[in-house]
């Protein structure tokens, strides 16, 4: 495509694409949790509640449906992925994530573990290999086990690893945490049903079949292809940030899928750089969905899908909805942009506040969606793991 043929994509079209492709327009339908995850590529799982509430915002599926997919059908898999973050992926997409991203994270995790000490010195290679093999062997004969139960079977998991030996930052950590995390990155074990409700992160562990190896460059192309299908147009900076790759890797993946450049416009109509779409996604996308407010949870994949966010996030909302580390809290959306935030109080009520003037229709829709979400959550109490100024203020 020559420079003269580069198409312009304005903010209105980007918001339309977001609404249509992220299932945020029209009444929620009976979309299975697997299809919600596939549509969004992945669901953030750093906060376990985010997985369930991301589905609830887009579907009439219940929490039991999500648990069925995660723990019974195993059609959804919780694993480390982009930016060393825990996500939930469609199980058949996990090999792509592993080869493109997680394998390199696992290799780095191993190098870091071997630098830790048992009071002094470093962790021997042989020790780590033996403990990992023992844990996998123990789980092979069990349906699942908690970290504490595995430590009973493999006592070396109780040993203490020391960070920064001899420095002012010296701290201790149980070996179980690092060993089990590394094995999960390898795909040798997988997180199962947690203790307590769906907001809990006290997972049990099960044995798993390691992911098949694939060329990393081909897997990175597959991941970018999926991301562009859901999030395009996006910039090189967006791809680099979302994946956690180097800029060279991001550019190579975009080239491998023959990504087509488009000229982006900002909310004020000014030039906003170059974005990329898939070759079969160049044509304009027009609106065709009924407007509906959406209450998305903390760390939902939609607001966390791009590094450059000014086309859907007003600056006035940023300080209220993000914590100091850049984690977004619960957000209220209307027609492809963030207009406020929400929270659940101790009495179970879902409360919200608009930070931008969205009109009477939007306010009525937010109120209706808050009522629907409150009924969906039921008797469970949800407190985001990363709390933000507005969420704290709404629950005070």
- Res 42: pLDDT: 98
Tokens of 39: 């549509």
Q: Give the count of domains, the chain.
A: 1
In this structure, is residue 381 part of a structural domain?
no
Confidence of residue 371 (pLDDT cuts 50, 70, 90): very high
Angle between helices 175-186 and 125-140 in degrees, nearest 10: 70
pLDDT, greater one: 290 or 312: 312
In this structure, is residue 136 part of a structural domain?
yes
pLDDT, greater one: 173 or 344: 344
Place of tokens 């001899």: 166
With a cut of 70, say whether residue 205 has pLDDT above it.
yes
Residue 321 · residue 56 · CB < 8 Å: no
With a cut of 90, say whether residue 215 has pLDDT above it.
yes
pLDDT (tens digit per residue) in 217-231: 999 999 999 999 999
H, E, C per residue of the chain: CCHHHCCEECHHHHHHHHHHHCCCCCCCECCCHHHHHHHHCCEECCCHHHHHHHHHCCECCCHHHHHHHHHHCCCEEEEECHHHCEEEEEHHHHHHHHHHHHHHHHHHHHHHHHHCECCCCCCCHHHHHHHHHHHHHHHHCCCCECHHHHHHHCHHHHCEEEECCCCCCCEEEEHHHHHHHHHHHHCCEEEEEECCCCCCCCEEEEECCCCCCCCHHHHHHHHHHHHHHHHCCECHHHHHHHHCCCHHHHHHHHHHCCCEEEEEECCCCCEEEEEEECHHHCCCCCCCCCCCCEEECCCCCCCCCCCCCCCCECHHHHHHHECCCCCECCEEEECCEEEEEEEECCCCCEEEEECCCCCHHHHHHHHHHHHHHHHHHCCCCCCCCCCCHHHHHHHC
Confidence of residue 355 (pLDDT cuts 50, 70, 90): very high
In this structure, is residue 389 part of a structural domain?
no
pLDDT (tens digit per residue) in 227-266: 999 999 999 999 999 999 999 999 999 999 999 999 999 9
Taking the C-alpha atoms of residue 24 and residue 141, their distance in angstroms, rounded to an integer, is: 44
**Which residues are bridge partners to 274 per DSSP?**
263
In this structure, is residue 179 part of a structural domain?
yes
Residue 188 · residue 210 · CB < 8 Å: yes
Confidence of residue 2 (pLDDT cuts 50, 70, 90): very low
- Res 1: pLDDT: 41
Nearest to 124 by CA among 274, 132, 318: 132
pLDDT (tens digit per residue) in 131-178: 999 999 999 999 999 999 999 999 999 998 887 767 777 788 889 999
Quote the Cα angle for 200-58-231, to 5°.
100
Confidence of residue 121 (pLDDT cuts 50, 70, 90): low
In this structure, is residue 291 part of a structural domain?
no
Nearest to 54 by CA among 376, 292, 312: 376
What mean pLDDT comes out for the span 37-55? Answer: 97
- Res 119: pLDDT: 60
Parent domain of 149: 92-207
Query: Is pTM beyond 0.85 here?
Result: yes
Taking the C-alpha atoms of residue 257 and residue 357, their distance in angstroms, rounded to an integer, is: 40
Among 3-12, 87-96, 387-396, the least confident range: 3-12
In this structure, is residue 141 part of a structural domain?
yes
**Which residues are bridge partners to 160 per DSSP?**
174
In this structure, is residue 308 part of a structural domain?
no
Q: What is the mean pLDDT of the chain?
A: 94
What mean pLDDT comes out for the span 74-95? Answer: 96
In this structure, is residue 87 part of a structural domain?
no
């Amino acid at each position: 495509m020559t420079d003269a043929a580069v198409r312009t994509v304005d903010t209105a079209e980007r918001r339309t694409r977001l609404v249509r492709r992220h299932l945020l327009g029209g009444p929620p339908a009976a979309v299975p949790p697997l299809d919600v995850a596939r549509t969004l590529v992945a669901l953030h799982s750093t906060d376990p509640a985010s997985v369930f509430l991301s589905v609830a915002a887009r579907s009439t599926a219940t929490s039991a449906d999500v648990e069925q997919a995660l723990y019974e059908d195993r059609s959804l898999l919780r694993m480390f992925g982009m930016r060393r973050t825990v996500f939930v992926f469609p199980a058949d997409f996990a090999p792509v994530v592993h080869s493109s991203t997680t394998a390199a994270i696992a290799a780095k995790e191993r190098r870091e573990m071997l630098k830790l000490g048992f009071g002094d010195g470093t962790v021997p290679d042989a020790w780590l290999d033996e403990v990992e093999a023992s844990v996998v062997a123990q789980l092979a004969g069990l349906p699942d086990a908690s970290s504490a139960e595995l430590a009973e079977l493999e006592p070396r998991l109780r040993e203490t690893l020391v960070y920064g030996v001899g420095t002012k930052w010296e701290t201790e950590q149980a070996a179980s945490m690092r060993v089990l995390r590394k094995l999960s990155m390898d795909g040798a074990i997988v997180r199962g049903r947690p203790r307590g409700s769906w907001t809990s992160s006290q997972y049990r562990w099960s044995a798993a079949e390691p992911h098949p190896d694939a060329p990393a460059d081909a897997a990175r192309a597959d991941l970018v292809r999926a991301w562009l299908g859901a999030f395009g147009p996006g910039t090189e900076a967006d791809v680099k940030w979302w994946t956690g790759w180097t800029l060279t890797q991001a550019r190579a993946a975009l080239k491998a899928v023959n990504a087509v450049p488009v000229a982006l416009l900002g909310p004020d109509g000014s030039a906003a750089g170059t974005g990329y779409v898939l070759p079969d996604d160049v044509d304009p996308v027009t609106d065709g969905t009924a407007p509906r407010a959406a209450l998305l949870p903390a760390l939902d994949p939609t607001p966390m899908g791009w590094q450059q966010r000014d086309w859907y996030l007003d600056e006035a909302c940023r300080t209220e909805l993000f914590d100091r580390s850049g984690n977004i809290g619960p957000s209220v959306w209307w027609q492809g942009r963030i207009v406020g935030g929400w929270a659940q109080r101790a009495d179970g009520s879902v409360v919200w506040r608009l930070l931008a003037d969205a009109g009477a229709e939007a306010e009525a829709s937010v109120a209706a969606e808050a009522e629907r979400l409150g009924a969906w959550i039921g008797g469970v109490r949800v407190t985001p793991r990363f709390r933000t100024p507005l969420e704290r203020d709404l629950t005070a």
